[in-house]
Amino acid sequence: MKGISLLGATGSIGTQTIDIIRSNRDQFELVAIAVGKNLELTREIINEFHPKLVSVQNQADAAILQREFAGISKILSGDEGLIDVAVHPDANVFVNAILGSVGLVPTLNAIEAGKTIALANKETLVTAGHIVMTRARDRKIPVLPVDSEHSAIFQCLQGERQKNVERLIITASGGSFRDKTREELLDVTIEDALHHPNWSMGAKITIDSATMMNKGLEVIEAHWLFDQPYDKIDVLLHRESTVHSMVEFHDGSIIAQLGTPDMRIPIQYALTYPERTPTNAARLDLTELGTLHFQKMDFNRYRCLRFAYEAGRRGGTLPVVLNAANEVCVQAFLNGKIKFLEIEDVIEWALENHVPTANPDLDTILSVDQETREIVTKHLVSRFH
Ligand SMILES: NC(=O)C1=CN([C@@H]2O[C@H](COP(=O)(O)OP(=O)(O)OC[C@H]3O[C@@H](n4cnc5c(N)ncnc54)[C@H](OP(=O)(O)O)[C@@H]3O)[C@@H](O)[C@H]2O)C=CC1
Ligand SMILES: CC(=O)[C@@H](O)[C@H](O)COP(=O)(O)O
Ligand SMILES: [Mn+2]
């Protein structure tokens, strides 16, 4: 029996992780969860799984749940609660499905505590990939990708030698606005942006898919996970989201991983690795599909992808700024405060105004993350109000 601790239990990846645990109760036990503000769903999860530890974002919500679930679950709150969930003594695998760079510190604590890491939270590697991967390597802790493209690449690399890899090929659906020109993007709505053509996901990553920042974050994530330089990581536009990513080898072979767009497949692979266990995910019917399409990326159309490659290549604290500015801008767009194309303008402004620190330590990363949020928030107020 594997004990699972789960950050982001009420989110898109979190609830799908719980679906897997529910369908495989003989294999997995949900021992600790962290959530944000969705108390209704949290109550349902506690009633069904009786996790030993539950952490919520706010102290006031923790007090409410403490009264309701006394004697069933220990209830904590805030950043300390996230860490206690990540290192819970009964957990073997730590699933990080929280949103945003708040996922970084719990991951580092879980590594120190010797937990296997199943990582959906890409911000962890974007902000501090050098620290996370070094500490995991030193302690021999597996960091297993949950993100579909990285799971695909990880699967393609099984049994292969690093020295034989020529390039990683990450696929991109193009997101909700892939058929629109830049002029047509000027006045798009939040509802339109939230309409991903292939995947059902949380709001923030759905907007990231539309701006192509999601792919940019994934390029940086792949750089750290698979130890490849940026000039060996390519992105291809692939409308069908059927080939989840590929690896090209020195001999000219390309190995790809295919499947229907269902996150339960990569989540379950990370939970059971190196085993593969059955899922009831819909099967891919290649004859029904008929054809697959691949196109070169246009870096002028998708400026956020260019910003991410540049930030990744220059390194230091630039990816921290890229990510923090993006988190603030996407939230502002979702709150109706800025227009869609202003997301990338403000991210560019934040990157241009940052003096990077090379090889930052954790304290520097956390303070640059916080400062960027404050600077960008102020900039949005002065620019648009
Ligand atoms: N969705 C997907 O298919 C994929 C997602 N990912 C990555 O996985 C991560 C999660 O994405 P997704 O599931 O879509 O996001 P969601 O918005 O659906 O879920 C986010 C989860 O994090 C919780 N949360 C947010 N902020 C805090 C906080 N400060 N403290 C405690 N809990 C918090 C939310 O709680 P609550 O709702 O209770 O407020 C919720 O449980 C992201 O990094 C994303 O990029 C990667 C690949 C695919
Ligand atoms: C499911 C998943 O991993 C997402 O990151 C997904 O890949 C988003 O798709 P696009 O960013 O390619 O639109
Ligand atoms: Mn992905």
ipTM of this complex prediction, to 2 decimal places: 0.99
- Residue to mutate (ligand 1; options 6, 10, 13, 269; most atoms within 8 A of CB): 13
Closest by Cα among 88, 127, 92 to 273? 92
Supply 139's token pair.
Answer: 């302690």
Helix 213-226 / helix 318-334 crossing angle, nearest 10 deg = 150
Distance in Å, CA 199 to ligand 2 centroid: 7
- Binned at pLDDT 50, 70 and 90, residue 384 comes out as low
- At 230-254, the pLDDT tens digits run 999 999 999 999 999 999 999 999 9
Distance 132 CA to ligand 3 centre (A): 19
Q: Please answer whether residues 305 and 297 qualify as being in contact, where contact means their C-beta atoms are separated by less than 8 angstroms.
A: yes
- 116 annotated binding-site participant: no
214's tokens: 């999601």
| pTM (2 d.p.) | 0.97
Q: For the chain, how big is the Rg over CA atoms in Å?
A: 20
Distance 384 CA to ligand 3 centre (A): 31
pLDDT band at 382, cuts 50/70/90? confident
What pLDDT sits at residue 373? 98
Q: What mean pLDDT comes out for the span 169-188?
A: 95
Examine the pLDDT at 92 and tell me if it is beyond 80.
Answer: yes
Residues measured by CB to lie within 5 Å of ligand 3, the ion:
147-149
Provide the b/e sequence for 140-158 (b: ≥16 CB within 10 Å). ebebbbbbbbbbbbbbbbe
Ligand approaching nearest to the C-alpha of 121: 1
The count of residues in the chain is 385
Of 121, 207, 241, 293, the one to substitute when testing ligand 2's pocket (max ligand atoms within 8 A of C-beta) is 241
Give 13's contacts (C-beta < 8 A, 6+ positions apart).
95, 97, 120, 146, 202, 263, 267
Name the band, by pLDDT with cuts 50, 70 and 90, for residue 383: confident
99 C-alpha to ligand 1 centroid (Å): 4
Q: Determine the pLDDT at residue 132.
A: 98
Mean pLDDT of 109-119: 98
Question: Average of pLDDT values for 140-146?
Answer: 98
| Average pLDDT of the segment spanning 289-308 | 96
Q: Is the pLDDT of residue 196 over 90?
A: yes
pLDDT of amino acid 385: 58
Which residues does ligand 2 sit against, CB inside 6 Å?
Answer: 147-149, 172-173, 175, 199, 205, 209, 214-215, 263
